[in-house]
């Protein structure tokens, strides 16, 4: 028999004790009055009748209010369920790992800056979609001359900046010419761009000194951003663009707050949520707690291990997206030990990519060459060097090494990537006759010693950039890979006048690079994101570089 331990119950009381206790209220003063009979025995005093009347009237009022409240709730449900519990929120909070140092996108480096500002606050002449392809932006259409030297862009009508100033061809031409003249960040991407001209208020002509098949893609980024030539703003803490959002506040140690631009010129990308808050959460545990508590509705990226509890919880959604991140194990091509191609091939055969990917949660994708799936020229090259320890041992034996007579090599990489990858590579290479020493360094040290000075045997880094095949055609880059055939194919890809033609040259060049084995591509990092069930429209692919937020909404389910 269950026991009542509520307001009128006492744990451990006998039945008789409980009956005596229940006979009166828990309020001692009311108990005393209730037990005191009216003098003369002629019934209750006048005040008791008054009290009863008040109680009755109050009950009637509550009943009437409840009736009309329920009636209104029923009407709301019939009209589509627009009750407070199911109404779209006017604010969405997103947790990201990286924070920009400041908002000066013309001078400050960093992919985090591009990720949060481009397409949200600033807009480019043409835009980049989550498919990593070029789409209309401020220009609704364009033509390219047969010789690839002249690009003519037709702008949308009646465009404005967030301050109300008109945006026309003069602003576009001025922005691009200023980029070149003042050498703003990434100006070197469009080195073949000679000048931009305003033909009329809605037409811009760009002239190139030499064809460049990457030109349109580069114009989706910083080189194509358009600024108000007559506007002024604090470039470190603010922004003045033409996008669907404006910057309400910014604190690099905490968050950036976006507010819907009331003067936004477009309709297709008009903000669907009034306020978007991006919180900077570099610590994994802080990010997890923020998602659990509802402080953020989206957390990206999140490791597969930490995402697993959310995957099992019906209140959350976990998804993976393709990106351009490539975890590259580079071999220093100027190193005498690695000049022997057999050694480089043996390393590639010895690495068990499936094991590495499985240890990370099984989300990442295998990558057998220098071009990721989202980039032009991609081809699945994973069959070139499948895991084959026997073949790796044979190649090392030919080169004069064995487990009893090992080749000593040092793997230098930044400690931000943790120790597990280094430990796995050391273990996988030991049986084929390689004694791998691990040198964990600060990222700043890696930049100086490896990236700048080229002082290393093997190195490991996540190359996140898209369209970065040029590094394999640049012998001075820290890979020091020098192939005349690859350089010629890349040059042909640049001057190609069609995307298909350029992709074919890139694919040929990428296959040669992979066959030469100047590196191993451990995996293509697939970004995992977790978010509350009521979130819609959050970008899935390329979210580390392209993050359009105008379509994101949040409708609480509880």
Question: What would the DSSP string read from start to end of 243-305?
Answer: SSEEEEEEETTTEEEEEE-TT---STT--SSSEEEEEE--SHHHHHHHHHHTS-SEEES--HH
Average pLDDT over residues 278-306: 95
Label residue 17 by pLDDT band (50, 70, 90).
very low
The pLDDT tens digits for 318-339 are: 999 999 999 999 999 999 999 9
The pLDDT tens digits for 460-482 are: 999 988 999 999 999 999 999 99
The whole-number pLDDT of residue 366 equals 97
Question: Per the structure block, which two tokens stand in for 178?
Answer: 């200023």
The whole-number pLDDT of residue 464 equals 87
The pLDDT tens digits for 35-50 are: 333 333 334 444 444 4
pLDDT at residue 134 tops 90: yes
Label residue 159 by pLDDT band (50, 70, 90).
very high
The whole-number pLDDT of residue 110 equals 85
Label residue 60 by pLDDT band (50, 70, 90).
very low
Label residue 80 by pLDDT band (50, 70, 90).
very low
The whole-number pLDDT of residue 111 equals 87
The whole-number pLDDT of residue 36 equals 34
User: Chain-centre distance of CA 2, in angstroms?
Assistant: 53
The whole-number pLDDT of residue 81 equals 43
Alpha helices in 402-449, H assignment, sequence order:
420-429, 443-446
Label residue 445 by pLDDT band (50, 70, 90).
very high
Question: Per the structure block, which two tokens stand in for 478?
Answer: 């820290």
The whole-number pLDDT of residue 405 equals 96
Please give the share of the chain, as a percent, with pLDDT higher than 90: 80
pLDDT at residue 258 tops 50: yes
pLDDT at residue 62 tops 90: no
pLDDT at residue 144 tops 90: yes
The SS3 of residue 196 is strand
pLDDT at residue 65 tops 90: no
The whole-number pLDDT of residue 401 equals 97
Listed in sequence order, the residues at least 6 apart from 275 whose beta carbon sits closer than 8 Å to its beta carbon are 90, 91, 92, 248, 257, 258, 259, 260
pLDDT at residue 204 tops 90: yes
On average, the pLDDT of the chain sits at 87
The pLDDT tens digits for 95-126 are: 999 899 999 999 998 889 999 999 999 999 99
Question: Per the structure block, which two tokens stand in for 6?
Answer: 């509520």
Global model pTM greater than 0.85: no
Average pLDDT over residues 138-158: 97
The whole-number pLDDT of residue 330 equals 98
432 burial level (CB within 10 Å; 0-12, 13-18, 19+): buried
Q: Are 487 and 473 in contact (CB under 8 A)?
A: yes
**Phi and psi angles of residue 513, each rounded to the nearest 5 degrees, phi first:** -60, -50
pLDDT at residue 5 tops 50: no
Average pLDDT over residues 291-300: 98
The whole-number pLDDT of residue 558 equals 56
pLDDT at residue 64 tops 60: no
Average pLDDT over residues 208-217: 96
Helix-, strand-, coil-residue percentages of the chain, each rounded to 5: 35, 20, 45
Q: Worst-scoring range by mean pLDDT, 9-23, 216-230, 234-248, 395-409? A: 9-23
Average pLDDT over residues 188-196: 96
């Amino acid at each position: 028999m269950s026991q009542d331990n509520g307001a009128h119950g006492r744990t451990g009381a006998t039945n008789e004790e409980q009956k005596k206790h229940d006979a009166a209220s828990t309020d001692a003063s009311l108990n005393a009055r209730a037990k005191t009979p009216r003098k003369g025995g002629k019934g209750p005093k006048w005040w008791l009748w008054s009290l009863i009347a008040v109680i009755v009237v109050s009950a009637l009022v509550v009943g009437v209010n409840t009736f009309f409240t329920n009636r209104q709730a029923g009407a709301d449900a019939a009209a589509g369920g627009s009750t407070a519990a199911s109404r779209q929120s006017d604010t969405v909070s997103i947790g990201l790992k990286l924070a920009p140092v400041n908002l000066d996108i013309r001078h400050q480096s960093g992919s985090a800056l591009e990720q949060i500002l481009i397409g949200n606050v600033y807009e480019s002449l043409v835009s980049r979609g989550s498919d990593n392809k070029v789409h209309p932006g401020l220009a609704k259409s364009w033509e390219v001359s047969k010789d690839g030297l002249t690009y003519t862009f037709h702008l949308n009508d009646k465009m404005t900046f967030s301050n109300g100033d008109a945006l026309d061809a003069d602003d576009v031409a001025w922005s691009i010419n200023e980029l070149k003249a003042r050498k703003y960040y990434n100006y070197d991407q469009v080195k073949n761009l000679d000048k931009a001209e305003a033909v009329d208020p809605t037409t811009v002509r760009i002239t190139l000194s030499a064809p460049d098949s990457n030109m349109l893609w580069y114009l989706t980024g910083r080189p194509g951003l358009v600024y108000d030539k007559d506007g002024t703003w604090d470039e470190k803490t603010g922004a003045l663009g033409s996008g669907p959002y404006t910057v309400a506040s910014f604190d690099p140690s905490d968050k950036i707050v976006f507010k819907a631009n009331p003067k936004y010129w477009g309709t297709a990308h008009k903000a669907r949520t009034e306020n978007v808050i991006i919180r900077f959460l570099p610590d994994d545990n802080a990010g997890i707690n923020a998602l659990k508590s509802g402080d953020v509705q989206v957390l990206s990226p999140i490791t597969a291990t930490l995402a697993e509890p959310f995957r099992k919880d019906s209140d959350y959604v976990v998804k993976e997206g393709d990106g351009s991140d490539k975890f590259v194990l580079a071999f220093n091509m100027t190193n005498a030990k690695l000049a022997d191609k057999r050694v480089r091939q043996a390393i590639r055969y010895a690495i068990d990519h499936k094991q590495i990917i499985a240890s990370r949660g099984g989300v990442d994708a295998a990558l057998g060459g220098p071009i990721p799936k989202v980039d032009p020229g991609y081809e699945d090259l994973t069959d070139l060097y499948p895991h084959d320890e026997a073949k790796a041992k044979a190649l090392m034996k030919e080169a004069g090494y064995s487990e009893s007579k090992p080749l000593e090599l040092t793997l230098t990489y930044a400690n931000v990537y943790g120790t597990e990858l280094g430990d796995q590579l050391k273990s996988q290479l030991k049986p084929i006759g390689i004694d791998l020493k691990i040198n964990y360094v600060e990222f700043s040290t890696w930049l100086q010693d490896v990236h700048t000075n080229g002082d290393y045997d093997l190195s490991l880094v996540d190359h996140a950039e898209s369209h970065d095949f040029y590094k394999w055609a640049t012998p001075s880059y820290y890979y020091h890979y020098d192939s005349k055939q690859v350089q010629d194919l890349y040059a042909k890809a640049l001057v190609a006048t069609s995307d298909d033609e350029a992709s074919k040259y890139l694919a040929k060049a990428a296959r040669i690079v992979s066959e030469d084995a100047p590196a191993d591509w451990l995996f293509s990092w697939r970004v995992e994101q977790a978010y509350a069930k009521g979130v819609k429209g959050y970008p899935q692919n390329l979210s580390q570089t392209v993050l359009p937020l105008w379509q994101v909404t949040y409708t609480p389910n509880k």
